[in-house]
Amino acid sequence: MHSTYHIIEVANTHGGNFDYLLELIDSFADLEKNVGMKFQALHPDKVATSDFPSYNTYKELYFEKDQWKKAIEKAGATKDVWLDIFDAYGVEILGENIELVHGIKFQSSVLYNYEVFQALEKCDLTGKKVILNVAAQSVEDIQKIMANVENKLSPQEILLEFGYQAYPTSLEDSGFSKIPIIKEKFANKLVFADHVDGESDNAIWLPVLAAMSGIDYIEKHVMLESRETKYDHFSSLTPERYKLMRGTVQRYTSIKEMPFINIKEQQYLDKTIMIPLLKKSKPGGSGVCLQEDFIYRRSGQAGLNVKQIEQLQENWNILAVEKREGDVVKRSDFKKATIGNVIACRLKSSRLKKKALLKIGNLPSVEYCISNVLKFDNVNHTVLATSTIEQDEELENYTYNDSVVFFKGDPEDVIQRYLDVASHLKLDVIVRITADNPFMDNEICQILLKEHFKFGADYTTARNAAVGTNLEIINVRALRTIKEHFPNAEYSEYMTWYFQNNPEHFRLHMVDLPKDMVRDYRLTLDHQEDLDVYRKIHNNLEEAGYSNFSVRDIFKYLDEHPEVVSINNDIPIKYRTDNNLIETLNRQTKIK
């Protein structure tokens, strides 16, 4: 867990009294975790000239090197030691105690002291942290200063501090407006130092506000409560108030470390969320739709909530058992659907003899189709389904891959053939594919599958796909219902009509594909012109370096080659243009 680091700033509250300094160090000895103590070691003759107004004050504050060594060792026994560097004397104290010093700090005014920087270059700061107070520095100046420090001193880390040492510091001048700008421009950790009245509420709450704003280090002046403090007392906290401030910071910043969803709010949601109740009975083998199948009420029943049902849908689950109106649904009511690609293929074509065996590239058309269908994710089986007629037996040699199931079924009743495949492999959901369509695409399949389970559909297809790129997702339970109404199913090769012509009996889901996956191209194989187009697509994309090209790649090629599109684009689609056929299908596939 992230914890704000605290720097106890001794500054000059000791007033040159070494006993005061030692007592002050002792008063914070119980603070050990994630805390440091900072000292200001300076020499009057190296920080000022004798005519400077504060020269005599500097003389009063001066400690000998052995005194500083003792103070540093005493503080270092329980916490990190930091040094404010003002002059060359401070650098000497650093050099003689380098192993005990965790880091150093530069006041903004010292950032231009080349004498200090030259002296510091002789110290090894590679394992030390450096705080740069950037009060009154522009972003451009901060960047230059950081580059100079990195180049000359090579510290382990540079921290940026805001806050300046004017007394009293008003709230408006505390520097909080710098936070978003510095965070945007720099990745460095930030240090906050305030100098408000130590007896005010602001002395406690400004550090809290800083920590809650993402500040990593808090620096605060301290003094003894029981002793007179001559210097730096205005903004200093006594040990008692300092520990109050530190505890308050820790208490409030710990709120930020709580999990995004805490246990109590989750328990509250679980207790109050409305559990979906079924509007009407649902048979086993069907999906569920949260928008269409449920009402939302608080009830005494324990069941799945919306998020839990959504998770089941996303993992391809359907109802395993019948559920009655008013029921909740439970995890045990669902099963993961067994999904199968069923590719229908015959060799009876009249316009283009044995078109399924004609090659596109190195593969027969049917195997070209299978090779693309095998790329479909989230599918358990792939089946090449043909008839029991002798002329179709040859297709057993064209399954492309040993994983493909070869199945022979009813020669005329395609619905029965599909149901026999489903019974053989215990399928719950069928991805219906025609071998005439070699350019099947996994992305389209995944869009339709996801929509099918989310909508709890019986039948799902794309509304606007290019001819030869569409798929149909069908629940086996719904296909059995079709068979119950149409035992003979004379027009079963037009299976689509049995669903789309009966919306009052089946939940149909017509999906709009993304616009960049929609074209008015013909990519189904029925004429020689179709085969010519496919061969041009394959050969040109293969020569261009495409190995596993998608329908997007095909569309891109056709977009750029309208002369190829024109080869077969005017060939009519019978089930779209033959009015007599359309009228017959509408009549013969309607459930009475």
358-404 confidence digits (pLDDT tens):
999 999 999 999 999 999 999 999 999 999 999 999 999 999 999 99
Q: Estimate to the nearest angstrom the gap between the alpha carbon of 555 and the chain centroid.
A: 30
Q: What is the pLDDT of residues 550-559, one digit of tens each?
A: 999 999 999 9
Q: Which segments within 345-481 are labelled E, that is strand? A: 359-360, 363-364, 381-387, 405-409, 429-434, 459-462, 472-475
Answer whether 203's CB lies under 8 Å from 235's CB. Answer: yes
Residues 365 and 329 grouped into a single domain: no
456: pLDDT confidence band, cut at 50, 70 and 90?
very high
Q: According to the model, what pLDDT value does residue 510 have?
A: 97
Q: In what order do the strands lie in the sheet with 429-434?
A: 405-409, 381-387, 339-344, 429-434, 472-475, 459-462, 508-511
What is the average pLDDT across 458-467?
Answer: 95
Q: What is the pLDDT of residues 264-308, one digit of tens each?
A: 888 888 788 889 999 999 999 999 999 999 999 888 889 999 999
**CATH at residue 481:** 3.90.550.10
**CATH at residue 90:** 3.20.20.70
SS (HEC) of 519-566: CCCECCCCCHHHHHHHHHHHHHHHHCCCCCCCHHHHHHHHHHCHHHHH
Helix (H, G, I), strand (E, B) or coil at 277: strand
Q: Which of 136-150, 515-529, 578-592 has the lowest mean pLDDT?
A: 578-592
pLDDT tops 60 at residue 131:
yes
Please say whether the dihedral angle defined by the alpha carbons of residues 522, 525, 526 and 531, taken in this order, is positive or negative.
positive
Q: According to the model, what pLDDT value does residue 178 have?
A: 86
Q: What is the pLDDT of residues 541-550, one digit of tens each?
A: 999 888 788 9
Indicate the number of domains in the chain: 3
pLDDT tops 60 at residue 1:
no
pLDDT tops 60 at residue 5:
yes
Which of 336, 357, 373 terminates a domain? The answer is 336
Residues 286 and 433 grouped into a single domain: no
Which of 256, 291, 311 terminates a domain? The answer is 256
Residues 252 and 270 grouped into a single domain: no
Helix (H, G, I), strand (E, B) or coil at 112: helix
Residues 418 and 552 grouped into a single domain: yes
Which has more pLDDT, 164 or 252? 252
Q: According to the model, what pLDDT value does residue 167 have?
A: 62
Residues 414 and 511 grouped into a single domain: yes
Answer whether 332's CB lies under 8 Å from 312's CB. Answer: no
Q: According to the model, what pLDDT value does residue 235 have?
A: 86
Answer whether 413's CB lies under 8 Å from 488's CB. Answer: yes
pLDDT tops 50 at residue 500:
yes
Q: What is the pLDDT of residues 415-433, one digit of tens each?
A: 999 999 999 999 999 999 9
**CATH at residue 320:** 3.90.1210.10
Cα dihedral 407→413→418→420 (10° resolution): -70
Range of the domain at 276: 263-336
Q: Which of 87-101, 348-362, 468-482 has the lowest mean pLDDT?
A: 348-362
Percent of the chain with pLDDT over 70: 98
What is the average pLDDT across 170-193?
Answer: 87
Taking alpha carbons only, the member of 294, 338, 344 closest to residue 477 is 338
Residues 33 and 111 grouped into a single domain: yes
Residues 305 and 172 grouped into a single domain: no
| Spatial separation of the C-alpha atoms in residues 275 and 260, rounded to whole Å | 23
Q: According to the model, what pLDDT value does residue 445 have?
A: 98
Phi, psi dihedral angles at 9 (to 5 degrees):
-95, 105
168: pLDDT confidence band, cut at 50, 70 and 90?
low
564: pLDDT confidence band, cut at 50, 70 and 90?
very high
Q: What is the pLDDT of residues 468-499, one digit of tens each?
A: 999 999 999 999 999 999 998 888 888 999 99
Strands 405-409 and 429-434: unpaired
What is the average pLDDT across 216-232?
Answer: 90
pLDDT tops 80 at residue 524:
yes
pLDDT tops 90 at residue 60:
yes
Residues 238 and 379 grouped into a single domain: no
Phi, psi dihedral angles at 587 (to 5 degrees):
-80, -45
Beta bridge partners of 510: 461
Q: According to the model, what pLDDT value does residue 270 have?
A: 79
| Spatial separation of the C-alpha atoms in residues 487 and 533, rounded to whole Å | 39
pLDDT tops 80 at residue 163:
no
CA distances from 97 to 70, 459, 478 (A): 10, 79, 83
Q: Which helix (H) or strand (E) holds 511?
A: strand 508-511
Cα angle 465, 467, 468 (rounded to 5 degrees) comes to 100
Answer whether 299's CB lies under 8 Å from 277's CB. Answer: yes
Residues 281 and 138 grouped into a single domain: no
Residues 79 and 183 grouped into a single domain: yes
Q: According to the model, what pLDDT value does residue 2 have?
A: 61
What is the average pLDDT across 555-578?
Answer: 88
Residues 450 and 502 grouped into a single domain: yes
Which of 336, 360, 378 terminates a domain? The answer is 336
Q: According to the model, what pLDDT value does residue 186 have?
A: 94
Residues 278 and 252 grouped into a single domain: no
Q: Estimate to the nearest angstrom the gap between the alpha carbon of 387 and the chain centroid.
A: 48
Percent of the chain with pLDDT over 90: 79
Q: Which helix (H) or strand (E) holds 252?
A: helix 239-256
What is the average pLDDT across 33-58?
Answer: 95
Size of the chain, expressed as the number of residues it contains: 592
575: pLDDT confidence band, cut at 50, 70 and 90?
low
